[in-house]
Amino acid sequence: MSRTAPDLSELTAPPQSPVAAPTLALRRVAIDTWRENVAYLHRDCAVYRAEGFQALSKIEVHANGRHILATVNVVDDTAIVGCQELGLSEDAFTQLGVQDGHTASVSQAEPPASMAALFRKIEGERLDRADFHAIVQDIANHHYSKIELTAFVVACNRAELDREEVYFLTEAMVASGRQLDWHEPLVVDKHCIGGIPGNRTSMLVVPIVAAHGMLCPKTSSRAITSPAGTADTMAVLANVELPFAQLEKIVRDHRACLAWGGTADLSPADDVLISVERPLSIDSPGQMVASILSKKIAAGSTHLVLDIPIGPTAKVRSMPEAQRLRRLFEYVAGRMHITLDAVITDGRQPIGNGIGPVLEARDVMRVLENDPRAPIDLRQKALRLAGRLIECDPDVRGGDGFAIARDILDSGRALRRMNDIIAAQGARSFDPNDPQLGSLSFEVHATTPGVVASIDNYQIARVARLAGAPKVPGAGVDLIHKLGEAVSPGDLLYRVHAAYAADLEFARQTCARATGYTIGRPEEVPHVFVEF
Amino acid sequence: MSRTAPDLSELTAPPQSPVAAPTLALRRVAIDTWRENVAYLHRDCAVYRAEGFQALSKIEVHANGRHILATVNVVDDTAIVGCQELGLSEDAFTQLGVQDGHTASVSQAEPPASMAALFRKIEGERLDRADFHAIVQDIANHHYSKIELTAFVVACNRAELDREEVYFLTEAMVASGRQLDWHEPLVVDKHCIGGIPGNRTSMLVVPIVAAHGMLCPKTSSRAITSPAGTADTMAVLANVELPFAQLEKIVRDHRACLAWGGTADLSPADDVLISVERPLSIDSPGQMVASILSKKIAAGSTHLVLDIPIGPTAKVRSMPEAQRLRRLFEYVAGRMHITLDAVITDGRQPIGNGIGPVLEARDVMRVLENDPRAPIDLRQKALRLAGRLIECDPDVRGGDGFAIARDILDSGRALRRMNDIIAAQGARSFDPNDPQLGSLSFEVHATTPGVVASIDNYQIARVARLAGAPKVPGAGVDLIHKLGEAVSPGDLLYRVHAAYAADLEFARQTCARATGYTIGRPEEVPHVFVEF
C-alpha cells in the first residue's frame, strides 16, 4: 500500500502572485494564546472573504519588515476586531514589534519547506542531515502547527532514530539557537537524565567544581513533569531569571552560576518539542540525547558528566538498557566533539530526604553546611559526580577527584562559593533551619514491621506534585525512612506538606491508595550494580 | 530504554473535591475557533488565579446539566471577558445550550480515560477491543487535543495495526455514532478508496441500482484533498444537505438518495480523525479500512461493492498491494457482517473527461442521457460496478448484472430515477449542454507527436485544485485526450477553467512546470491487469 502522495497543491510554494497582497490595520487583541499565534479576522472582512481563508487555516502576516505565521479565528464581534482590521493575539502582536493600527499585509501561508521530509519520517524513512536541519529550523521558527510537531515527535519516537540521525538532530538543534563560547579550554557541566525525585546534586557539584577553579556556567530547566527542577529549587535561594549579560559577568567573577536556561535562547527547538513530548510522556533515547546534548553544546560546555540512574522505578530499569543509552550518548558526544563521562548511578529510590523546591533547598544547604542532618546519599553522590568532573582537570590524577571534592566540601569552600553565587544572582530570604513549608501537612506511617523494601519514585513524585510542588515551593514530601531501614508499626515514613486544602486532600487520597513504600524482609531490598 | 511512565498525577481522576467548584457567569465570545472549544478567562479572574489554570490547560465547564471541555486562553481585556465571567467560543457556547449570563461551574479537566491506552499505542503495543472503544469514544466526544489526536493517528500509521486491531477500531467507530437500520434485508452501497480524479461512478450506480429496485441510501463526503467529491458534484445538481427525516423519506420514496453524510452523525470519530490525517497526508490501510467500513456499516449497508483502482499514480500501485488491501477489507467486513465485493479497477488515469464539480456533473448527466459526447470509460466502469451490485440480488444470476445495468441505463430508466432523486432533494438549475464553468481558462497543447503515454492523476488533481475546485464549482480541468490516443503537436490536451485571475495564474504556472501528460510511443502506455 503506497501512502497518499502529499497533496502538492498545498506544498508547492505558490509563485509570487501578480496581485499585491491585501492590507489591514493591525489590532492587538489581549488574548494570551500561549505560544500559538492566532489572527482574528472579522467574518465580514473583505480580505477574509476574497482570500477564502478558513477558520484554522494558516496565514502569513507581514509588517515592519517582519513576518509571522498565525492561525485564523473568525470573529463576529466588531468589539474584538473590525472589518478593516487584523487582530493578533498578544504574542503574535509582540513579535511584529509595531503599534496598534500599523498596516500589515496578509496572505495564505506557504507550508513549511521541510514538510516533505516530515512526511517521509512519518512513513519511517531515514532522514539525512539537510532534512533534520530544515525540520528543526522550521520548528524553532514556530512554523510547525501542533499537528505537525506531534507527528514529528511520534514518528521519531517509534522509528527509533538511528545513531547518525540522532547526531543530525542534535547538530540541527544546536544550530537553531545561540551558541555560547566562553573562550576557555575547559567548560564543565553535569546533567542527569531525570526521573529521580530529590536528586539535586547540581547545586552541590557546581559550587564544588567552581571552588576547584573550573568554569561551570550551569543553566537548568524548571520542572516539567517532576516535583522540582534545579531552577525551581535554586529559585528558593536566589533569583534565577537573569539577563544574559549579567549571567556572563557572574560566571566570570565566580566561575559558575545556577540559573534558569530559558532566557539564553539555547537550542530553542528543544523547548518547542518539549511542549508536545510532555503531554504525551514521550522520552525516547534519541530525543533525550538530542535534547540534553544540544543544550549543553549550545551552552559552550566542553566536558560533561552524565548521571544515568538505574532502578525498578527509574527511567532506565536494566543494565543493558543503561549501556545502550550510554553508548548512544557517547557516539553523539563524540561526533559533536564534547567529552562525555556517563556514570550509571543508583536510582532505586529518591535521593536526599526532601522532595519539592523548599525541602530540596534545605537538604542542599545542609550538605553544604556540613550539618549532621544532611542526607548522606545526596552528599556522597554529589561528591562522586564532582570528583569525576574534577578529574577532567589535566592536572588531577585519575582517582583523586573524590578526595579533592570532599576536601572542598568539608572545608566550607563549597558553601562560601555557593553563597557568593547566591549573592551575585540576588539572594532570597531562606533559613535552612526554618524552611518555609506549606502550613498544612499529614503523615504516612508504617503499618507492619520490617525494613523499607522499596520506594516508588513515580508515586512519591506524584504525591509531591499533587501536594502542590513545584508551583507551591513549600509543598512536597519529606522522607524520614529510606531503603533498607528497619521500621515498626506506627513509625513515620514520610510527611506531606501543602499550602492549600484541596491540594492536601488530593495528595492524601492518593497516598491512601498507594503510599509508594513497601515494607518487607531485608533480602527483598533490590540490589543494583552501579559504578560507585 | 523504558519510556517515562505517564505522569499519573495528571492521569488519575482526582477524587471529588470536598470544596464546591467555583462558578462564573457565561459569556458568548463571538470567535469561531472551528471545532476547538476555547474558554476565555480574564487574567484577574479569581477562579483563574485560585485554580492555577494555565494558558492552554483544559478545563471542564458545567452548566444546564451538560458539560464540555475547553482550552483556556487568558484575556487581559474586559471588553472581551470580565473578571466574573467565563467566555466561551461560539461552538462551545452553543453546546451548552444556555443564554448569556447563565452560571457555570468550572474545574480542571480530567484527562481522557483512554490516555493510558494511547500511551501504549505510541510505544507500539497492541491494543484490545476495550482500548479502541475507549479511545474512539473520547475522540468522538472531542476529549482529545490536537496533540493527542495526532499522536494516535501517527502511532497507528506506523505501527501498521494488525487486522484484528483494524476490526476493533472499525467496530468502535461504528459504535461512536448513530447506526441506521432500514429494516430491509438488502441495503447496498458502493465506495471507491479514492485517488482517481473524475471518478464519479456513484452518481450513475445509485440511480441504476435504485431503478432495479435495490435500496441504496448513499451518503458521501465532500472533497478533502481531491478536486471534487460526490457530495460536491451532486451539489451542482441538487441540494445535498438534508435533515435526516427528509433523507429517510426520499429513500423510502425513491429507493435511493445522493446526499452529504455530514448531517447524519455516522461514525463521527472518523470526521475528527480526518481533520488530522488530511494535513499529514496519512492514509494507511488500517485507517482507510476502518474509515470506509465504519461509515457504511453505520449507514445500515448490508452489501458493499468496493472500487480499488490500481495504477502508477493511483493510491495502490501494484497488484500484490491491491490484494493485501482487499484481504484486509474482506477480513474486517466479515467480522462486521457486511458482504463486501472488492473490485480492482484501472486507475492509470482519470475517469471521464471533466475534473471539478460542474465538469463532473456534466459528464454524469451526459452518460445518463446517453449523449454521444458521454465519456465511454465512465459509462463502462459505472455499468460494471452497478452490475456487481445488482448481482447481490438473489434473483439475479451471476454474470447477468452488467446487462441488466446497461438495459436500465440505455432505456432511460436510470435518468428518470436520477431526475426523481434530484427533484426530491431540491433541484438546482443545471444544463449539461451549457454548464456554468469559470469564465477564465487556458489550454495545454501537445508539443510532440505520439500517443498519450501517461496521465498523472496527482498532477491533474493539483492543477484542478489550484484552479479553484472544489470551492469554485465551475473550476477544474477538462481532458480532451486520454491514454493511448494519438496526438500531433498543437493538439489540445486539456483545458483549465477558473473563476479568479490568481487561481488561473497558479494553475498556469504549475502546468508550465509539469502538464501531467507524457507523449510517447504506443508501447509505452502502461498495461495493468484489472478484473474487468
Residue numbers of B between 137 and 156 with CB closer than 8 Å to A: 145-151, 153-155
Check A1 against B284: CB less than 8 A apart.
Answer: yes
Give burial (CB, 10 Å; 0-12/13-18/19+) of B489. exposed
Q: Residue A415: its pLDDT value, please? A: 98
Q: Confidence band (pLDDT; 50, 70, 90) for A17? A: very low
Check B154 against A154: CB less than 8 A apart.
Answer: yes
Residue numbers of A between 225 and 284 with CB closer than 8 Å to B: 225, 276, 279-284
Taking the C-alpha atoms of residue A85 and residue A94, their distance in angstroms, rounded to an integer, is 17
For chain B, how far is it from start to end, CA to CA, in angstroms?
52
Minimal Cα–Cα distance from A52 to chain B, Å? 9
Taking the C-alpha atoms of residue B330 and residue B308, their distance in angstroms, rounded to an integer, is 13
A426: left (phi over 0), alpha (psi -120 to 50) or beta: left
Which among B10, B58, B150 is the top mutation candidate for probing chain A, defined by the most A β-carbons within 10 Å of its own β-carbon? B150
Flag whether the pTM goes above 0.90.
no
Task: Give the type of residue at A244.
Answer: F
Measured in degrees and rounded to the nearest 5, phi and psi for residue A109 equal: -75, 140
Q: Does B285 touch chain A (CB under 8 A)?
A: yes
A444 vs A33: which has the higher pLDDT: A444
Q: Residue B276: its pLDDT value, please? A: 86
For chain B, list residues with pLDDT below 70.
1-21, 35, 48-57, 158-159, 529, 531-532
Check B80 against A506: CB less than 8 A apart.
Answer: no
Task: Give the type of residue at A294.
Answer: S
Chain A residue numbers touching B89 (CB-CB < 8 A): 73
Helix then strand count (H, E) for chain B reads 18, 19
Q: Which residues of A261-284 are buried (b: 16+ CB within 10 A; e: fewer)?
A: bbebbbbbbbbbbbbbbbbbbbbb
Q: Does B419 touch chain A (CB under 8 A)?
A: no
Alpha-carbon distance values, A213 to A254, A385, A435 (Å): 9, 16, 31
Taking the C-alpha atoms of residue A216 and residue A134, their distance in angstroms, rounded to an integer, is 32
Which residue among B283, B307, B346, B503 is the active-site one? B283
Residue numbers of A between 345 and 404 with CB closer than 8 Å to B: none
Check A462 against B324: CB less than 8 A apart.
Answer: no
Taking the C-alpha atoms of residue B184 and residue A198, their distance in angstroms, rounded to an integer, is 67
Pairing between β-strand B354-355 and β-strand B476-479 as defined by DSSP bridges: antiparallel
Average pLDDT of the residues in A378-401: 96
Taking the C-alpha atoms of residue A162 and residue A164, their distance in angstroms, rounded to an integer, is 6
Q: Residue B53: its pLDDT value, please? A: 56
Taking the C-alpha atoms of residue A2 and residue A118, their distance in angstroms, rounded to an integer, is 16
Which residue among A138, A283, A377, A456 is the active-site one? A283
Q: Residue A485: its pLDDT value, please? A: 97
Per-residue pLDDT at A52 exceeds 80: no
A144 vs B391: which has the higher pLDDT: B391
Percentage of the residues of chain A whose pLDDT score is greater than 70: 93
Cell digits of residue B81: 471577558
Taking the C-alpha atoms of residue A109 and residue A69, their distance in angstroms, rounded to an integer, is 7
Q: Smallest Cβ distance to A12: which of B10, B12, B510?
A: B510
Q: Write out pLDDT tens, residues A224-247.
A: 778 999 999 999 999 999 998 999
**Rounded mean pLDDT of chain A?**
90
Alpha-carbon distance values, B289 to A2, A273, A464, B283, B308 (Å): 14, 32, 45, 10, 12
Q: Residue A10: its pLDDT value, please? A: 35
Which among B4, B123, B506 is the top mutation candidate for probing chain A, defined by the most A β-carbons within 10 Å of its own β-carbon? B4
Pairing between β-strand A85-88 and β-strand A38-42 as defined by DSSP bridges: antiparallel
B392: left (phi over 0), alpha (psi -120 to 50) or beta: alpha
Minimal Cα–Cα distance from A262 to chain B, Å? 18
Task: Give the type of residue at A160.
Answer: E
Residue numbers of B between 19 and 38 with CB closer than 8 Å to A: 19, 29-36
Q: Residue B443: its pLDDT value, please? A: 97
**Is B283 designated active site?**
yes
Check A325 against B17: CB less than 8 A apart.
Answer: no
Check B155 against A154: CB less than 8 A apart.
Answer: yes
Q: Does A510 touch chain B (CB under 8 A)?
A: yes
Chain A residue numbers touching B5 (CB-CB < 8 A): 281, 313, 458
Q: Residue B54: its pLDDT value, please? A: 55
SS percent in chain A: helix, strand, coil, step 5: 40, 20, 40
Alpha-carbon distance values, A106 to A59, A78, A103, A462, B379 (Å): 7, 19, 10, 46, 45
Per-residue pLDDT at A322 exceeds 80: yes
SS3 B277: helix
Minimal Cα–Cα distance from A198 to chain B, Å? 16
Cβ neighbours of A422 (radius 10 Å): 19
Q: Write out pLDDT tens, residues A455-508.
A: 999 999 999 998 999 989 999 999 999 999 999 999 999 999 999 887 898 899
Q: Confidence band (pLDDT; 50, 70, 90) for A72? A: confident
Q: Which residue of B has its CA nearest to A193?
A: B4
Chain B residue numbers touching A14 (CB-CB < 8 A): 506
